Amino acid sequence: MLVDALRDQTLPPRASALDLCTGSGVLAVSAGLRGAREVTAVDLSRRALWATRLNARLNGVRVRAVRGDLFAPVAGRRFDAIVSNPPYVPGIDPPDRGLARAWEAGDDGRALLDRICAEAPDHLRPGGFVLLVHSELVGIDATLGALRAGGLEADVIVRRRGRLGPLMSARVQSLEQRGILHPGQREEDVVVIRGRAPALGRRPLSKAA
């Protein structure tokens, strides 16, 4: 979904792109194939960065893969596009190591989402955009509101209905008890949300808007 959404966006010449929580590097590689001249991929996992570098090489694109916590490795830099498929499964706080870092996102599933929404506006060039994918179960309105509070125009650009994935399915009882899932609910909407920075010459949105 996010790869397709990225392909549908217009990038300026010599665009720069940032992929947070890169994992295999699929989004970073897609940004390079889409025409971004400068692509940076960030992840805490060394294995993820190795995979990203390998996949970039196999696809003939240049990706700078760096280890770090979200925007920390790119402090002070701005991009035309920021993309992320962050961990968003409600459960435990993100662990320090291991595979579960790829999906565990705190009690409400927003441990990383909220940080990305808060920091992304300061890392976008005028007219740049951030694309995020996550389940409706962790709060579509919360993401839209957080991006708008940062002065971005925010909307849902893709919505797809389907059965719960294996990670959500494995904890349906807990999710129902906490009110995240309605009793008997076994489907979810997965959405791609876009936040766009005002272009040069346009007034920024009010943070209260």
Question: Is 204 inside a domain boundary?
Answer: no
Is the predicted pLDDT of residue 42 greater than 50, yes or no? yes
What are the tens digits of pLDDT across the range 146-193?
999 999 999 999 999 999 989 898 889 989 988 898 998 899 999 999
- 129: domain CATH number is 3.40.50.150
Average pLDDT over residues 122-138: 97
Question: Is 185 inside a domain boundary?
Answer: no
Confidence category of residue 136, pLDDT binned at 50, 70, 90: very high
The closest alpha carbon to 87, from 43, 56, 119, belongs to 43
Output the CA–CA distances (angstroms, integers) from residue 91 to 101, 138, 172, in the order listed: 12, 11, 11
Question: Is 183 inside a domain boundary?
Answer: no
Q: Are 180 and 106 in contact (CB under 8 A)?
A: no
Question: Is 205 inside a domain boundary?
Answer: no
Q: Which domain holds residue 40?
A: 2-160+192-196
What are the tens digits of pLDDT across the range 56-89?
999 999 999 999 999 999 999 999 999 999 999 8
Question: Is 134 inside a domain boundary?
Answer: yes
Count of domains for the chain:
1
Q: What is the distance between the alpha carbons of residues 73 and 54, in angstroms, rounded to a whole number?
A: 20
- Count of Cβ atoms closer than 10 Å to residue 22 Cβ: 28
Question: Is 208 inside a domain boundary?
Answer: no
Question: Is 173 inside a domain boundary?
Answer: no
